[in-house]
């Protein structure tokens, strides 16, 4: 990512201090929009319009004032496709998502919520419809997709109140979204996928067979990939898995290998099913993830 784009990334500490999810989403989206404007690859939502410089004759109502504030120039949005998208953000709020390593800026759940909120804001901004569902040991409240700006308040309220407790009802949640989402909808799933199994892979293929466009955001903490701990350590399961006293040096190599193989199996399953797969850690700037996702879909 070019250094010129990084200046628009919101500092994690500042993001955490912002008052509510709506404000966080808007600030993150502003950074994404500015990055898209300076990028050679235009595009803003899955069907994002192209920015072109204002000239007399363009409608003033299409001027993007957020871009003006960042560049001091007038740009308007050139819409290329008036067909609205219907999308759903499905967020894992189980106990494992509450994990936050010592060097991580966010827990996995906070990261997933902020990322989903930013993408939701961008979608509705373009007239697309967004719905949402959280899940832990059971599937949570389901919000149907709507394109109203006021609907975002309900989406953000749901995201603000995800707790990060309980076990993971991943497969049950995939079954529910397969029944609820309309054909050709975009289903974005935000999870650490630690419980992903062959049954999960089958359900992902079911989603695709129902003509849903599926994108997985595989969110991990750097500490989960490297096991950086030293000395005799007690590891506590976050989903009622008990405790384990272990010397990390004795298991680090095998643990890292097992994690790599698990991630590779999930990624391979997604590729075979034509499902978008993005593996990230909570140290990755959220705006960067949004930008890369939107460019790929473009």
Q: Which tens digit of pLDDT belongs to each residue from 90-132? A: 999 999 999 999 999 999 999 999 999 999 999 998 889 999 9
Q: Specify the range with the lowest mean pLDDT, choosing from 5-19, 207-221, 245-259.
A: 5-19
Q: Which domains does the chain have, with CATH numbers?
A: 3-78 (no CATH), 86-285 (3.40.50.410)
Confidence class for position 61, pLDDT limits 50, 70, 90 = low
pTM of the model: 0.82
Question: From CA 127, how far away is CA 42, in angstroms rounded?
Answer: 18
> What pLDDT is stored for residue 198 in this prediction?
94
């Amino acid at each position: 990512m070019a250094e010129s784009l990084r200046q628009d990334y919101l500092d994690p500490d500042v993001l955490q201090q912002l008052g509510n999810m709506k404000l966080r989403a808007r600030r993150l989206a502003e950074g994404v929009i500015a990055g898209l404007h300076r990028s050679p690859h235009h595009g803003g939502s899955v069907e994002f319009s192209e920015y072109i410089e204002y000239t007399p004759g363009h409608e003033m109502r299409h001027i993007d004032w957020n871009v003006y504030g960042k560049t001091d120039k007038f740009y308007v949005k050139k819409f290329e496709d008036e067909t609205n998208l219907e999308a759903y953000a499905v967020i894992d709020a189980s106990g494992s998502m509450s994990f936050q390593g010592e060097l991580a800026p966010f827990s996995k759940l906070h990261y997933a919520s902020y990322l989903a909120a930013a993408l939701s804001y961008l979608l509705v901004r373009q007239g697309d419809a967004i719905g949402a569902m959280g899940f832990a040991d059971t599937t949570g409240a389901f919000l149907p997709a709507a394109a109203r700006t006021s609907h975002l308040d309900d989406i953000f309220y749901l995201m603000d109140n995800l707790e990060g407790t309980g076990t993971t009802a991943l497969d049950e949640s995939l079954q529910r979204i397969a029944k609820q989402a309309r054909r050709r909808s975009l289903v974005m799933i935000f999870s650490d996928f630690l419980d992903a199994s062959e049954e999960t892979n089958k359900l992902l293929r079911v989603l695709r067979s129902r003509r849903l466009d599926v994108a997985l955001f595989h969110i991990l903490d750097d500490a989960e990939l490297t096991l950086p701990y030293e000395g005799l350590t007690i590891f506590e399961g976050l989903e009622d898995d008990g405790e384990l006293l272990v010397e990390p040096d004795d298991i680090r190599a095998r643990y890292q290998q097992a994690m790599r193989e698990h991630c590779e199996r999930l990624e391979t399953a997604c590729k075979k099913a034509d499902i978008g797969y993005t593996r990230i850690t909570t140290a990755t700037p959220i705006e960067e993830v949004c930008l890369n996702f939107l460019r790929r879909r473009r």
